[in-house]
């Protein structure tokens, strides 16, 4: 298979996957950055309305408290757009140091360990359209990443947080380990029932091989993460090879068959 034909095959496959979404419309999103409130407290106890909440601008990070508490709570009230009814609503937190638990309208929607990668939660069943939604995020400092049996002396602010814990870090801490909070932004997005989560292409000149891996996400009713299906195709310039795994769309299978001859 020639390189141009392989590229054409990949393009046809992407078009087939895109056909799953209605009318190929751009993804709708609203930023939640800006005015929030925060309060330090216990990570396992949701602060009450009479707690000492203070205004804060998100993204924002605080210095950890060596004597505790080791958690800072953030809260934000927002309205879900009425035109998003019937779609899957996703909350995206771009980065929270260092582990966090998220709640919407008093209901836990997910938790994540790691402060440098985004986390997404399907909030379709928890969000309301008739009034304000109350979002809470409990952000825990670096102590939440230390395994129970690890050697972890208390560092000073000038310490290199990346190097002093021995054999027991659950996720990277980095050199700014004294930070805790919503240090990256937050947003909500409206998505169709099926969407493309990721497209990853790898090539090998030595093997004369190009592999495209597409991950689809299927929204579902009820709490928990969306169900995922992964499909792969690999085109070798000399001899075509196609690997179809998961529930490959019928349209995609037809296009692949047509271009493969």
Domains in the chain and their CATH numbers? Answer: 3-21+192-260 (no CATH), 28-190 (2.60.120.260)
- What was the pLDDT predicted at 119? 95
50 band by pLDDT with thresholds 50, 70 and 90: confident
Mean pLDDT of 66-72: 92
**In this structure, what token pair is assigned to residue 156?**
């000073």
Of 157 and 39, the one with more pLDDT: 39
pTM of the model: 0.71
Q: Please list, in sequence order, all residues whose beta carbon lies within 8 angstroms of the beta carbon of residue 96, skipping any fewer than 6 positions away.
A: 112, 115, 119, 137, 139, 181, 182, 183, 184
Residue 227 has pLDDT above 90, yes or no: no
Mean pLDDT of 43-65: 93
Of 101 and 19, the one with more pLDDT: 101
């Amino acid at each position: 298979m020639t390189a141009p034909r392989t590229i054409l095959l990949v393009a046809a496959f992407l078009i087939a996957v895109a056909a799953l979404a209605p009318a190929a419309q751009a993804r709708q999103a609203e930023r939640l950055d800006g005015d929030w409130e925060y309060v330090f407290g216990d990570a396992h106890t949701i602060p009450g309305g009479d707690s000492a909440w203070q205004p804060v601008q998100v993204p924002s990070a605080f210095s950890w408290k060596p004597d505790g508490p080791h958690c800072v709570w953030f809260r934000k009230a927002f309205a879900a757009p009425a035109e998003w009814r019937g779609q899957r609503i996703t909350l995206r937190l771009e980065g929270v140091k260092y582990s966090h638990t998220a709640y919407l309208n008093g209901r836990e929607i997910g938790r994540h360990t790691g402060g440098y990668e985004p986390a997404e939660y399907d909030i379709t069943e928890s969000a309301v359209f008739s009034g304000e939604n109350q979002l809470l995020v409990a952000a825990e400092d670096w102590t939440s990443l230390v395994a129970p049996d690890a050697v972890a002396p208390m560092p000073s602010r000038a310490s290199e947080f990346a190097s002093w814990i021995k054999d027991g870090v659950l996720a990277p801490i980095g050199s700014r380990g004294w930070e805790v909070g919503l240090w990256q932004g937050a947003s909500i997005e409206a998505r169709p029932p099926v969407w493309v989560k990721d497209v990853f292409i790898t090539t090998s000149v030595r093997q004369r091989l190009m592999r495209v891996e597409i991950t689809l996400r299927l929204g579902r009713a009820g709490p928990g993460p969306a169900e995922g299906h992964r499909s792969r195709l690999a085109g070798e310039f000399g001899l075509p090879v196609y690997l179809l795994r998961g529930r490959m769309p019928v349209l995609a299978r037809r296009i692949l068959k047509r271009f493969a001859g």
